[in-house]
Structure 1
């Protein structure tokens, strides 16, 4: 089963995903994809970590999420945007290479016998990115979101902490 949860920044995606995971398992997995970019980001990571208690198994993987054995587990993947940022940066802003690498990792993940709750951001609904790198990333994110949403069994869009069921 694949759940896809999207929305804007601070829309309630993570809380919704964590509550869903706890409704499905007594010991879910939290798969964090972020890189620790700076002190501000470290605070954000600490806040997210404090939201989870001892019931959670925490795994950190910046890029190669398809290689992790998640057999028969309920897994929150948080989040596609940060994960794509890692690929985008490492592949020198090559959108096609990012799409190819990202889709390959996701296909491996989708093949596993587990329940996935995948969190992503809808970044194309705000202001238009001012830089070419930003515009290309917005497109990359949109294409990857479409790929995941197409594979998902259920899709939810979060708005102001409220879930809007898409599929």
Structure 2
């Protein structure tokens, strides 16, 4: 039966670890779908740390944009994370900087891909960041990205059966089974 769970919170709030533990409680062989583009060596080390934390019972998929091209029917899948996925649509490396998509264009593409991916009969555990919880940036690009991320988070949360806010490693149920 299809189920969508959204886990949100700040950086280093325990979102990914909680998502992984939840997935393992639901399946012996979950899927980990990583949306990250590896930009530099420091980030590569973060990815390696996450990979080492998971055991060989995980199916690992790396996909920056087209989640729906992967069949996960009947599986439990952790998608980590919406923030990096949004980044891949907002800072599209296939176009020149001056041809960057608008927030509306990127949001529509993300929503279309989300709907196609989650049409499968699976348990989806999406991880995301609450990047809009801080102050308003003085950088126009950052403000636009914060808008994109916030609207995409709202889109996923509206469709989610359950939403969990991570605060200092503690899961707080926001929506769903209490």
Distance in 2, matches of 1:84 and 1:99, equals 8
In the superposition, the TM-score normalised over structure 2's length comes to 0.92
| Contact 1:93/1:133 (8 A) holds in 2 | no
Q: Which of 96, 110, 114 is matched with 2:104 structurally?
A: 96
What SS does the corresponding residue of 2:138 show, helix, strand or coil? coil
Q: For structure 1, list consecutive stretches of 5 or more residues without a partner in the other structure.
A: none
What SS does the corresponding residue of 2:91 show, helix, strand or coil? helix
Superposed displacement of residue 93, structure 1: 4.7
What SS does the corresponding residue of 2:12 show, helix, strand or coil? coil
Q: For structure 2, list consecutive stretches of 5 or more residues without a partner in the other structure.
A: none
Equivalent residue, structure 1, for 2:154: 146
Equivalent residue, structure 2, for 1:14: 16
Indicate whether 1:162 and 2:164 are aligned: no
Structure 1 stretches of 4+ with a deviation exceeding 6 A read none
Indicate whether 1:127 and 2:135 are aligned: yes
In the superposition, the TM-score normalised over structure 1's length comes to 0.98
Superposed displacement of residue 49, structure 1: 0.7
Residue-pair matches, total: 167
Instruction: From the CA coordinates, give the structure whose radius of gyration is larger.
Output: 2
